[in-house]
Structure 1
Amino acid sequence: MATQYAITGTTAKEITASVERGVAEGALEPGTALPPVRGLAERLGVSPGTVATAYKELRGRAIVVTRGRGGTVVSAAPAVASRRPPRVPAGLRDLAGGHPDPELLPHLVPPSLLSPGARSHRGTPRLARLEKVARDWLAPDGVPTEHLTFAHGALDLIGRLLSVELRPGDAVAMEDPGYHHLLDLVTALGLRTVPVAVDDRGIRPEALRVALRAGVRAVVCSPRAQNPYGGSFSEARRDALVEEFRKEPDVLVVENDHASSVADAPLHTLTTGGLARWVHVRTVSKFLGTDLRWAAAACDPTTLARHDGRLLLTSGWVSHLLQETVHGLMTDADTRALLARAQETYALRRNTLVRELAGHGMEAHGVSGMNVWVPVRDESAVVNGLRSHGWWVAAGARFRTSAAPGVRISAAELTPPDAVRLASDFAAVLGESEATYGG
């Protein structure tokens, strides 16, 4: 056993609780191998069946996974412990967080009229005026808006749908590289991730075809501002993907348009392709405020019924105070003007960084959104090298399943002069050790 933590217990329930406690407290880290069933049974003085039952329970709750001859190990993102990003060292410029520029966010003013009294909104979970605003927001991009719902952000909606639609062990096709919180969420739900390669036009049709043939039950993808690669569907790419999806009508297609209003790329949505099972979700945290955990989602009627049925049994509804705040901002002329400026600013900053890196002979990807992906050979060497120059970027390991190494740079707050300096420092790091770069 590759850890000093001692699993205890004489019943399956006690053994399960002991492992869960070790994971939650950090004593059993992701990837840690658990003892073989017979070895642990002998040490604890119990039958192998007791240990096997405990391991089965842990697998069902996505705390551990079994890797054949590799044995049973703690999951990469166990459901009883959160994987947090590394803390930014003092004195470094943070380009790893993926956050918007605070200067390009509106000031949040809570609604003056609070909900009167203590009453349930289960009967009317959505404000009618915000539903209209959401439809007016989605429809011009071609998204069908007959069936609409709200959620506490994209992760909340996607997690709820996957837990209703799928069962532990089912497969989900995910972008590779892709958004690390979504990758962790799929693992925490006990689902299997099937990586789908991406390029500057989003997920690649041939990779999607392989995933669909492998029997995935759902696909999660971004039509633009793909995180971390920055890809954006072209019309031709969208049509090619729709053709693949039509061959598997029972697969749930989740389109996460997380940057929408500031993505600086047209939306070529999969939802116009007549798919049977689909949902298009948009959040506002990237351009109205990171604390506004609200999302609008258009979907097919079956998906709507399943999502809202589960929502009714949990939180019940999205806070009307939150809905009032979002409505006020989305109908405010000054906020709309700020969003237009934010979109132009983010495009300028991202494009400047890509151009400056290319000027130093470095490959970089980022045709939309706030992030730039730079392929490298040794992520740690690049991260530590840039750290010595005062920059903190994200190692790509958090975003990758089987994709080649890289680093993600969040360009939202990176002014053009800063981009020039960063590119120069990046080139210096690579010059110090050519083996770090794989571009």
Structure 2
Amino acid sequence: MTTADDGAADPPDAAPDRYAAVVDDDWERQVVWWDRTFVAIVLLTAVALPSAGQRGPQLWVAYGAMAAILLAYALWGARAARTRDQRTATAYVVVLIAGTAVTVAQNGIATLLLFGAFTQLWMLLDPPRRAVVASVVLAAASTVGISFQGGFDVPTLLQAAPQMAIALAFAVMLGLWVATTMRLSEERARLLGELRDAQAELAESHHAAGVTAERERLAREIHDTLAQGFTSVVTQAQAATAALDRGEQGRARERLVLVEQTARDNLAEARALVAAFAPVPLQGSTLAEALRRLAERFTVETGARVLLDVAGTTAPGGATGHAAADVVLLRAAQEALANVRRHAGAHAVTIRLTHEAPADPAGPAPGVRLEVIDDGRGLSTGHTDGLGLAGMRERVSAVGGTLDVGPGEQGGTRVEVRVPAGDAA
């Protein structure tokens, strides 16, 4: 890279060094959030134990085990996350697995710790095979802990094993995907950096912008697809566990079937994302069909009634006649429904897809409008765009469309997306 004063170029390895600094800074910011999330999980578990009826010595044993986990994290885990030192990481992981197993042995609700524990194994251990081994050990130890509550006999152990096997399978699947995706992403960015290092100052600045844009794109894709899918998996798995506890085998089986289908869809999404293909729901189907499947799944998962109106939107090639715009509309519907699930508490949702043909041929180009309207609690005062809405706004803007989020006419929230149709998209 040159300066206005001397025009001297950096040495050949300067670009990799600069990129490494960017990666380290970004990782440091992510670790800060991991710190907060893990501490929050432990504290929530500590609060949940008395609420679940845990009393006496067992409660204090659980508290002692969780205190040991937090202390080990402060001494070794947090440092290992930032330095990637495997010796320190291994010391912490041993305490994490033992502490989690002891806590789970006191009360089944302590399995909440597994959400943080499985994640940390993949965050701290390298190469991935070490994380796989540690995940298996954690699952086995937790299974023993769960069976310990029922007297540590074979029937109890066999009952706990399938549930933990499901959790282990999803943890390993997600961990391997994240490890592979991040490795490919970083390798690709490093190659781009090496190619652009031989160029002038403008090319170098484009490199920095490309790295940032790539990370933002991956963040949006993960948020819009995999994060929402795995949230659904966790919710349905919890519902299946609750049904099993109540002896409702049929309902549990229904939930597990939905868990399997969602996981398969997520795996397909992951493969499509890595291969840079079109979103899976639009492969071999129209936008209207993809929205119909999305609405049906939302109803099954939440119980909320979804009214889908896609009349007159079966144009050849999709609703807009432009693949990129159809993808934007589908992602917008997914994000809007995810927000309804998380924040609205709605009983009914309307999804409306409408072609807008201009009355005046000389007027604006024809377009397609997507509306998602719920009857929930509505927007909070002074609300701002989160990651989901910000990503949606960028997607819509990229195809020349507009996004409007506001209150519905009869309460709740209304999300409206307008994109050009046909050649205008």
Q: Which has the higher contact order (CA 8 A, sep 6+)?
A: 1
Larger radius of gyration: 2
TM-score (norm: length of structure 2): 0.27
Normalized per residue, the structure richer in strand is: 1
